[in-house]
A and B are shown apart, each in its own frame.
Chain A
């Protein structure tokens, strides 16, 4: 399996996901069909990831292009799980769009065929750290979509599902952060170094903790709670790739001088 085949897998996967999204919108009673199509799309993209993993001889988690691949996959997985649980008919369409954006970026930026894995990334923490983070990003992307929907469709109470996604997403975010801190101790000598990526990760976690605490104390209007989820998601984008565009990233230990 190679990146040359990615456009075929991506297009088939996106078409299946799009069909799932359209079915859930047009025929809400055919939820089983929507779910079947959605999972078919996930399986196709998952097959590419598995094949790439085998052919590279290492987990495809190092370059930004590779993490985008996982993100696209996990956004679709999170969307399918949330749809199965709460049946928001518009959700599959939105997760398809979100996932497609990152697939299209990977198709348009094909300079991601590097097989190397720098020494710092050769660790038992590499796979759990990255996959847990990507899964968290996928779930929190869904909570972001729900928060935007909550702001647009006033009067609809989406907080039960946002709560669940934020709790699970934040839990995963912390697992990623903590496995990362143990790994940092092994690789660089300290659990926390105030590296730009770490600092943005702390701010992201803080935003979601604010949401959780505000919900618990009922100290804020629902509109501000939704804003907290949106701010959390924007900070998450900074933590994932946004920090690379800031001058402060020049000293970051999280930039491995590899293909973007």
Chain B
């Protein structure tokens, strides 16, 4: 026979589970309808300032919701560990088609986006509301993951990967995206020299190119891009592999990623949280905290 307190707790948990289920089902239903009507979303539609505005609305909305209706069952449910388990399982399930059939690009679908939005909402509310033990570690992990996911998710609309094949001694001020459309770089890049070393089995050991932009030159190697500006890096992406060290051209990749420092901040916070997790070991939870 359950006591009145236990009965109340069971009822509360059932109610919380229902709230989470309805919220997830409603969000996914909207995503499925959008997917059926429009196919995968056009990422360009969400380029700056639309992505920044949506992020502000999401963060601001959740902040206000938590402040004005923090005591409601809906907010408590979304910030709960049960909601966390739900979105983690959903994220893992969404990863499965990405891993097995990358060609369908499920990560670009409305359904995947909906799961990411739910994940961000749960992460933010959990960060804002957590009052348990090991608070710093909890916040580093949850806020760090929120910033990292948000920067990659919202920032993807502003990201560009452009490529240009530049002949030795020649210059270019245009690079091409994956669709083959030309984009002006706003500067002229010149390939000054190229060298490559190979192992005895013809595997490349290292390849490097000296490139210059407006009188400033840098040596590019794999793992050593040129940080051209806060939003742009130049990578040495390839060369004429048939010609080897005699290659007469190099392929340069210009990566435009204005949200990269936000993503890096998230990574560093998560790293600190992970180290704290290794150092501190398991988090003991008292019954009262678990029930919350």
A124–B54 alpha-carbon span in the complex (Å): 37
Q: How large is the interface on B (under 10, 10 to 19, 20 to 34, 35 or more residues)?
A: 35 or more
B278 to A116, Cβ gap below 8 A? no
Chain B residues whose CB sits within 8 angstroms of the CB of A155 once the complex forms? none
Are B99 and A192 closer than 8 Å at their CB atoms? no
Interface string of A125-143 (1 = CB under 8 A from B): 0000000000000000000
Q: Are B161 and A189 in contact (CB under 8 A)?
A: yes
- Interface bits A197-222 vs B (CB < 8 Å: 1, else 0): 00110110011011001111111000
Chain A interface residue bracket vs B: 35 or more
B85 CB, nearest partner CB in chain A, Å: 5
Closest Cβ of chain B to A63, distance in Å, is 12
Further pairs besides A167-B280, A246-B99: 10, Cβ < 8 Å: A119-B221, A120-B223, A171-B276, A178-B274, A179-B271, A190-B161, A200-B95, A206-B88, A210-B85, A217-B290
- Give Cα distance in the complex from A194 to B152, angstroms: 12
Choice from B99, B205, B275 contacting A119 with Cβ under 8 Å:
B205
When A and B form their complex, what is the total count of cross-chain residue pairs whose Cβ atoms lie within 8 Å?
A: 150
- The segment out of A10-18, A46-54, A180-188 that lies at the interface is A180-188
Contact indicator A175/B95 (Cβ below 8 Å): no
A169: nearest residue on chain B (CB-CB)? B278
Residues of B within 8 A of A117 (CB): 205
Query: Is A90 positioned at the interface, with any CB of B under 8 Å from its CB?
Result: no
> Chain B's interface: helix, strand, loop or mixed, by majority?
helix
Whether A251 sits at the interface, judged by CB under 8 Å, is yes
CB of B272 to closest CB in A, whole Å: 10
Chain A residues whose C-beta falls within 8 Å of the C-beta of B84 in the assembled complex: 209, 213
Q: Are B89 and A210 in contact (CB under 8 A)?
A: yes
B203 surroundings in chain A (CB, below 8 A):
116, 118, 258
Query: Residue of B at shortest CB range from A136?
Result: B278
25 intermolecular pairs with C-beta atoms under 8 Å apart = A116-B199, A119-B205, A122-B206, A167-B281, A171-B278, A174-B273, A175-B274, A181-B267, A183-B223, A185-B264, A189-B255, A191-B263, A191-B264, A194-B98, A194-B102, A202-B91, A206-B88, A206-B91, A210-B85, A214-B81, A216-B290, A217-B290, A243-B99, A248-B99, A248-B101
Cross-chain contact of A248 among B102, B152, B255 (Cβ < 8 A): B102
Q: Give the chain B neighbours of A186 by CB distance below 8 A.
A: 223-225
- Tell me the chain B residues, 133-150 only, with Cβ under 8 Å from chain A: 148
A207 near B253 with CB under 8 A, answer no
User: Complex: how many Å from CA A206 to CA B206?
Assistant: 36
A106 close to chain B: CB less than 8 A: no
Q: How far is the CB of B90 from chain A (nearest CB, A)?
A: 9
Please, which residues of chain A bring their CB within 8 A of the CB of B80? 217
B159 and A203 contact, CB distance less than 8 A: no
Interface 1/0s, chain B 43-80, versus A by CB < 8 A?
Answer: 00000000000000000000000000000000000001
State the Cβ distance, B182 to closest chain A Cβ, in Å. Answer: 19
Q: Tell me if A93 is interfacial: C-beta within 8 Å of chain B.
A: no
Cβ of B270 under 8 Å from chain A:
yes
The answer to whether the Cβ of A29 comes within 8 Å of any Cβ in the partner chain is no
CB of B184 closer than 8 Å to a CB of A = no
**Residue A44 at the chain B interface, CB threshold 8 Å:** no
A55 at the interface (CB under 8 A from B): no
Q: How far is A258 from B96 in the complex, measured between Cα atoms in Å?
A: 27
The reply to whether the CB of B176 lies closer than 8 angstroms to some CB of chain A is: no
